[in-house]
Amino acid sequence: MTSGHLGLPKPEPLLRVSGLSVDYDATGGNVVHALRNLNLEIADGESIGLLGESGSGKSSLALALLRLLPKNAHMASGSVAYRGRNVAELSPADLRAMRGAEVALISQEPALALNPVLSLGRQLVDVLRAHGKLKRTEVSARCTEMLRQVGFDDPERVLRAYPHELSGGQRQRVAIAQALICQPKLLIADEPLSALDAATQAEILELLQRLKRDLGLAMLFITHNAGALASFADNILVMREGEAVARGTMDRLQASTDDYVQGILFPEKSLANSARPQRTKESGAALLEVRGLSKRFVQRRMLSRKEFVMLALEGIDLALQPGSTVAVLGRSGSGKSTLARCLAGFETPDAGEILLEGKLVAKNKAGALPPVQMIFQDAATSLNPRFTARQIVAEPLEIARWKTDAERTARAMKLMAEVGLDPDRAARLAGEFSGGQRQRLALARALAAEPRVLIMDEALSGLDMPLQAQMVRLLMDLQSRHGLTYLYISHDLNFISLFAQEVVVMDAGRIVERTTPEMLGQSVHPATRELVEAAERLHAPGVEATV
């Protein structure tokens, strides 16, 4: 098995990275050093965890290994050798043969990793076909089998579907199927779990472990979540600003005294001291009330009258007390986002009503500031990268023709300060802010309209754990200051107990359980149990449990 088509059967490691430095040419002739003098070896069947906060150069490493760095980046020094062959010197044909078949990549943004206009079947088949001639029946058998392995019960439907017809988590599973379908020797997984719900995260982890066992799959697992690595990484490399700052087994790293290593391993420690706003259950009138909300989506295809109906929401009842936080939990595809979109007015429900302070929420009148605001999962795509921070934050005010331009700017600056951003950077473009800062910017924009209710649709899941902890602290702070009401949508249980008073669990478009964070652990409902167990499995030993 070890004698691949590319290498020599020498005691050479599968992959050797020596002294690798990667530079990016930034605007104005500046050079950004994404990687500095990095050394790494991966043996056959070995799993290496790469841990670091965002911006530490993890993704650049993943891309450099496959020679996929963007045009403005180059390897300044060092080399990458796969089975003893320098990747930089491979011919285009050899490089292509290596990509996908020998070394496969699961990219960082699963939602964007699939071509939006091609069917998933086609995208899966093409990978298989690119690396060998197979019979039609064989191809479809391999595809269905692979989709089953990544947890789809109905592979035939998935093969026919298009990316926009699946939820983010389902898309990530297809992307993983794409990476594994040619049975590569080395899998580079760049934050493969960050967009998945906790239950699916645990499943994917188990799947990757199984494949590692069965196929002797070596893995480079890049993440900001130490918990995911605990169960199966043989060795862990901790990165900061492009440099390896620590390496070793999980146990050895946990014993480290380095602040950065500790912060990455135990992000929740920093929050332990903040007190949760305890609130007695008010019997007063609900601020936002939802009654019997239903929504369905219809799929159509070319030259066919057949319609596939997908139920997104079915008979949802929900009430938010003023000043409280309600957490909506559920796997991806359970209808959480549709609920959020209905509440924020992006979707028109098919049945049911939404009441704000007892009154039906109609379409917002021009000139009025909307009372319900929403923050999206991915700040990178929800903010126009060519707008300045000031423009972004002041935009809701401009739309509502709120006061004068000068007052709007002043307010935007004040809001930036309030969410912990330097108001001096108001003239910078959104694209120049980091992921965590952009999410703060999105928060400032949502607050600009002085909303009563803030809906956060997986607003934290794109961030690494230390940043999530900071955001939660900020959100709690803002809540007590402005009396905000939160609807916090999440697929994992991180910070729920610190943050929410009420928990609602959704499954297949229905609310299946209503409980409190404290009682979540005792639930017997299968959907809830799945989330709780997944959270337990994902947690690093020694990390304080959140439920």
Partner 1 sequence: MIRYLARRAAHGLLMLFGVTVLMFLLFQAAPGDFLSDMKVSSQISAETIATLRAQYGLDQPLPVRYWQWLKSSARGDFGYSFAYNTPASTLLLPRARNTLLLSVPALLISWLIAVPLGVLAAGWKSRWADRLFAGGTSTLLALPDILIALLALLIALKTGIFPVGGMTSINAQDQGTWAYVRDLGWHMVLPVAAMVIGSLTMILRHVRASVSEVLESSYMRAAEGHGLPRFKLLFGYALPAAANPLISLFGLSVAMLLSVSLLIEVVMSWPGIGPLLLESILARDLFVVIGAVMLSTVFLIAGNLMGDVLLYAFDPRIRSQA
Tokens of 246: 């620590």
Which residue number, 246 or 310, has a Cβ lying nearer to partner 1?
Answer: 310
Which residue number, 187 or 475, has a Cβ lying nearer to partner 1?
Answer: 187
Q: Which stretch binds partner 1 (CB under 8 A): 161-169, 367-375, 427-435, 464-472?
A: 161-169
Q: Which stretch binds partner 1 (CB under 8 A): 99-107, 149-157, 266-274, 513-521?
A: 99-107
Find the binder of partner 1 among 18, 32, 209, 297 (CB under 8 A). 297
For residues 65 and 15, the answer to whether their CB atoms sit within 8 Å is: yes
3-state SS, residue 16: strand
- Report if residue 94 touches partner 1, rule: CB under 8 A: no
Find the binder of partner 1 among 77, 86, 115, 249 (CB under 8 A). 115
- Report if residue 165 touches partner 1, rule: CB under 8 A: yes
Fill in the per-residue mask, 117 to 156: x = in contact with partner 1 (CB under 8 A), - = not in contact: xxx---x--xx--xx-------------------------
- Report if residue 179 touches partner 1, rule: CB under 8 A: yes
- Report if residue 98 touches partner 1, rule: CB under 8 A: yes
- Report if residue 101 touches partner 1, rule: CB under 8 A: yes
- Report if residue 99 touches partner 1, rule: CB under 8 A: yes
CA distance 430 to 339: 28
Fill in the per-residue mask, 411 to 430: x = in contact with partner 1 (CB under 8 A), - = not in contact: --------------------
**CB under 8 Å to 312, separation ≥6 — which residues?**
295, 296, 297, 335, 338, 509
Of residues 298 through 317, those in contact with partner 1 by CB under 8 A are 298-303
Torsions phi, psi for 384 (to 5 deg): -65, 115
Q: For the residues of 180-241, what is the DSSP string, one character each?
A: HTT--SEEEEESTTTTS-HHHHHHHHHHHHHHHHHHT-EEEEEES-HHHHHTT-SEEEEEET
Helices (H) and strands (E) in the chain, counts: 18, 20
CA distance 53 to 360: 44
How many Cα atoms are found within 13 Å in the side-chain-facing hemisphere of 263? 13
Q: Which stretch binds partner 1 (CB under 8 A): 103-111, 311-319, 486-494, 508-516?
A: 103-111
Pairing mode, if any, of strands 243-248 and 288-299? unpaired
> What distances in angstroms separate CA 57 from CA 218, 381, 456, one per listed residue?
21, 21, 28
Torsions phi, psi for 230 (to 5 deg): -50, -40
- Report if residue 92 touches partner 1, rule: CB under 8 A: yes
Fill in the per-residue mask, 29 to 68: x = in contact with partner 1 (CB under 8 A), - = not in contact: ----------------------------------x--x-x
Which residue number, 181 or 426, has a Cβ lying nearer to partner 1?
Answer: 181
Torsions phi, psi for 233 (to 5 deg): -75, 130
Q: Interface with partner 1 by CB under 8 A: which residues?
A: 63, 66, 68, 71, 92, 96-101, 104-105, 107-109, 112-119, 123, 126-127, 130-131, 162, 164-165, 175, 178-179, 182, 297-303
